[in-house]
Amino acid sequence: MNEYIENESLDLFTSAITLTEIIKFLHLNNENPENIRQVVFEIGIRSLVIPVTESIAILAGEFRNEGFKGVIADTIILATARSGGHTVVTGDPHFESTSDAVLIKT
């Protein structure tokens, strides 16, 4: 994943709901609250955080209806990416068969 994050020639985009998932993950791993704030801050510096709009929410609902197996947050992340013509870079196996996703090993 670092090849994407550290490559400053790439424009990065983050779905706002991804911040929720990252914060949850860091809390579950007993991360220091100050470090969590720093991670979220750095994500905002390095990428454009895209809000969950009505059109993204509707598109996410359609993905669920079409059989995408990820949880609701995953469908919102996918809808955010597709609405902007972006690629999802993730370690989440729910995206394994998604053509516009790059699955990385963490």
CATH number (domain holding residue 32):
3.40.50.1010
Can you give the residue range of the structural domain that contains 13? Answer: 2-103
Residue 96's φ and ψ, nearest 5 degrees, are -55, -40
Question: Mean pLDDT over residues 52-69, rounded?
Answer: 92
Q: Between the CA of residue 56 and those of 16, 20, 73, 75, what are the distances in Å?
A: 11, 17, 11, 9
64-101 per-position pLDDT tens digit: 889 888 899 999 999 999 999 999 999 899 898 898 89
Number of structural domains in the chain:
1
Q: Between the CA of residue 103 and those of 11, 30, 31, 38, 75, what are the distances in Å?
A: 18, 26, 25, 25, 15
pTM of the model: 0.86
Instruction: Note the pLDDT of residue 104.
Output: 87
Range in 19-23, 44-48, 84-88, 95-99 the model is least confident about: 95-99
Residues paired with 60 in a beta bridge: none
